[in-house]
Structure formats: C-alpha cells, structure tokens
C-alpha cells in the first residue's frame, strides 16, 4: 500500500477499519446451537416424572392386627352351620343305654342291705331291662345273678358270647368269645340248667372243628376244656 494514499486532507494518516460484521456472522451458528441445546434441556427437565412420595407408616404394635388385614380376613359370607354327622341307629341306641345307671343303683342297694337276695327277682328285672333295650343294665344284672350261681342268668350270658347265638341287638359285646361262652355254659350246667349241658356238647363240636381249621382261640380253649 502506498503511504500517500492513506493521508488525509489535513495531512494526517487514516486508520483502516477491520470487518467486524464478518466476525459476528461467523459466531451466529454457534449461538443458535447453544440456544437449541438449552431449549431441549428445559423441555426434558420439565417433562421428567417426579419421584413418588413414600409415606412411612408407624409399626403396628405387637398383638394388634392392622385394620386392612382385619377387613381382608373377615368372611364375605356367613358360613352355613355344620351339618350333624349321620349316626347309625344301632350305634345311637347303644350309646343311649350304655350308662347302666339303674342296674348299678339296684346292685348297690342289694349290697348295702346285706340281706338275702332274691336272684330270681334280679333275673326278672334284667329281662325287663333287655325288653326295654337297656342292654347295659340288663347285662349288669345278668352278670350279678350269674356270679351268684343263678342258672338262668348264666345261661343268658353264655348265649351272648356264643358265636351261634351272639347278636348285637341283644348283647353289649361287639363280638362273640368262645372262652366266655364255655365258662358261663359250665356255670349254668353246674347250677342245674339242663339246656346248658346240651349247649356245651354242641360248643365242643364247633370248637374242635375250628381248631382243625387253625383257629388259635379254639386250640387254646381245647387245652383248658374239662
């Protein structure tokens, strides 16, 4: 550049101005990008979900159920009453007569009086109890009389235990017993009951057959038979 060209009219020098507008134009894209970033951050932060607020409940004291659990545990409907279990007629009858209270009272009075006991009357009362299906009372009086050598009472006891005559309708025993049948038939026979001797002979035949078939109870009874 020629120095003469820069001189002013007053003889001084003129200072050449730099292009400011061109520098500002170069910064404009960066400013726009920065604004876009700031705007996106503002949108993101404004739409971010706030964390849920957790309210801490106090601990339930020991032995106290929370109200919610009590409501949940309550039944939604009233339960129907339990139906009574069906009871067989025979079992109900035996349970009803099982006490034997009346027979025990009679025996207690007879023992307390210490007088001569009329065992025929005891046997008759046992028969009445049997007719009334009071089987325990009947059995107790039969037994009381049979132990005192009453032939008819001993005969009744023997048939209660005899497999050929045993019946749950007339006996409190659940099953027959060969040994008990033999015992009471013998006592009835010794007391003078003629039928008891015939029953003993018949029982002997049946016991021998049972022993032959391997019945252990029959084998043991034959060893004691006299």
pLDDT for 196-205, tens place per residue?
A: 999 999 999 9
Instruction: Tell me what the mean pLDDT of segment 118-142 comes to.
Output: 95
List the one residue out of 151, 94, 78 whose CA is nearest residue 119: 151
* DSSP label of 66: -
pLDDT at 171: 84
pLDDT digits (tens, 9 = 90+) for 76-117: 444 444 443 332 333 334 444 456 999 999 999 998 887 788
pLDDT digits (tens, 9 = 90+) for 170-198: 888 888 999 999 999 999 999 999 999 99
Say whether domain 89-224 belongs to CATH 1.10.3470.
no
Query: pTM of the full predicted structure?
Result: 0.55
Domain ranges of the chain: 89-224
For residue 219, pLDDT over 80 is answered with yes
Question: Which residue carries 């170069």 as its tokens?
Answer: 26
3-state secondary structure of 106: helix
For residue 75, pLDDT over 90 is answered with no
137 burial via Cβ count (<10 Å: 0-12, 13-18, 19+):
buried
């Amino acid at each position: 550049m020629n120095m003469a060209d820069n001189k002013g009219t007053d003889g001084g020098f003129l200072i050449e101005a730099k292009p400011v507008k061109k520098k500002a134009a170069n910064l404009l894209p960066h400013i726009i990008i920065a604004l876009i970033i700031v705007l996106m951050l503002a949108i993101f932060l404004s739409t971010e979900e706030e964390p849920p607020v957790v309210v801490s409940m106090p601990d339930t004291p020991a032995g106290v159920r929370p109200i919610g659990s009590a409501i949940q545990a309550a039944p939604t409907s009233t339960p129907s009453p339990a139906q009574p279990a069906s009871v067989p007629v025979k079992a109900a009858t035996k349970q009803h007569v099982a006490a034997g209270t009346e027979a025990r009272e009679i025996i207690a009075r007879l023992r307390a009086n210490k007088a001569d006991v009329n065992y025929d009357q005891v046997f008759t009362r046992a028969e009445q109890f049997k007719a009334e299906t009071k089987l325990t009372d009947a059995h107790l009086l039969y037994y009381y009389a049979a132990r005192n050598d009453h032939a008819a009472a001993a005969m009744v006891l023997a048939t209660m235990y005899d497999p050929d005559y045993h019946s749950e309708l007339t006996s409190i025993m659940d099953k027959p017993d060969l040994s008990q049948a033999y015992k009471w038939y013998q006592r009835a026979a010794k007391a003078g009951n003629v039928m008891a001797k015939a029953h003993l002979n018949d029982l002997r035949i049946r016991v021998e057959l049972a022993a032959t078939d391997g019945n252990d109870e029959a084998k043991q009874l034959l060893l004691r038979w006299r």
